[in-house]
Amino acid sequence: MPPRSSAVCWLRKLCVVAEVPNPGQAAGLASELLASLGDRWLHTQGVAGRAEEHAAFVPTDDRELLVVAAWWHDLGYAPKLAHTGFHPLDGARYLAAEGYPERLCALVAHHSAATFEAEERGLLYELSAWPREESAVVDALWAADMTTGPTGEPVEYAERLTEILYRYDEKSPVARAMSRARSDIETTISRTESRLIAR
């Protein structure tokens, strides 16, 4: 394995070619890669819709970025992209290889408390290729994902967490990570809701 700094530099060089697409283009790629996955595609559409609702409450220059990241947050579930089985990492690696900006890659890599699952899977080193951002954009993306059910319907976070824990074995990396991440996710959703109220 190359030294961490070398691996990070290599990945960052990949993330400097393509521009952030517009949401319509992002939806097109998401459809191409995820439409055959049934509920995963429905969930993705729902998350993108929630992100559009939240976009008014992030800085103007970041609004399209938020919606694009929402369309692409689950790309790593696409069978042809699923190399590690950890979808945030697989999606981010694909986007990096396609030359998309580092910040977009990082939003996908770290969405919805992915650091917790990376730790459970022994993939923190790989995930660290992208810096973890703290911002209104991150909060809005996590909130959109964690308040959208598996078939795209709006849900409360408690219901979403219950559904995830029901779907996965309690000893799985996903269940363990989501249980550990509960407080972080609740805080993130609360910050997003506070911004909505403040407007």
Average pLDDT rounded to a whole number, residues 2-12:
42
Whole-prediction pTM: 0.90
Per the structure, the count of domains in the chain is 1
The average confidence (pLDDT) of the chain is 92
- Convert the pLDDT of each residue in 142-183 to its tens digit: 999 999 999 999 999 999 999 999 999 999 999 999 999 999
Q: Give the CATH number, domain containing residue 106.
A: 1.10.3210
**Helix, strand or coil, per DSSP, at residue 154:** strand
Give the per-residue pLDDT at 195: 86
Residue 146: closest CA among 117, 173, 178, 115: 178
Please say whether the beta carbons of 151 and 42 come within 8 A: yes
Q: What residues have CB less than 8 Å from 145, skipping those under 6 apart?
A: 47, 50, 70, 73, 111, 112
Range of the domain at 82: 4-198
